[in-house]
Amino acid sequence: MSFRVHSTIHVNDDMQSGYAYVLAEAAGKNFDPSFMPHFSPKEMLALGVFEGKYCNDCRREFPKDWFAKAKISPVADPSLNFFRIKSRQPLYVWQDKGWIRGPDPRGWFQWYCRYYLGRRLPDIDAWQIKRWRAFARHAGQIKAHCKRGDLKCRPRQRQALLQWAYDPFI
């Protein structure tokens, strides 16, 4: 599959069929200036996020090298998370809270993967970036309550930061 600007990505997986999008930017380039993630999707997957259960059926949509070192499992396995703790809520919780919008039925990380590849949807992008920026409060709580480098302090918040592409190692 080609991941160059102007390429069309066709999606057919368990949660989405017949969806297609065009890459408007080069992968990892030209992000909104207020959106400065610390990790790429590839780095996040290699570090251990979402209990290894996130991209099982949608790997064909993304570059193969994203999965070379990814911690993936057919069942949710908290030991695959970097901080080795349970970190996910059922999808219905996200849907009930209105956190799933637009063409990304898996939520924020799916949006980020597609945004990173170069898809741009101004309204959805603005909404997701606003949500990402609001998540920074968790980094503030870690800084306020934990000694620098104490990764055992607030592991749930640290795992959540990692899953939102923030630096949890503060």
Q: pLDDT digit string (tens) for 48-94?
A: 999 998 878 889 999 999 999 999 999 999 999 999 999 878 888 88
H-state helical runs in 35-166: 41-47, 91-96, 108-117, 122-134, 137-145, 155-163
Share of the chain above pLDDT 90, in %: 84
Q: What is the spatial distance between Cα 120 and Cα 78, in angstroms, rounded to a whole number?
A: 32
Whole-prediction pTM value? 0.95
Question: 41 near 119, Cβ under 8 Å?
Answer: no
The residues facing 17 across adjacent strands are 12
Q: Evaluate if residue 95 carries a pLDDT over 90.
A: no
Distance of CA 107 to the CA centre of its chain: 8
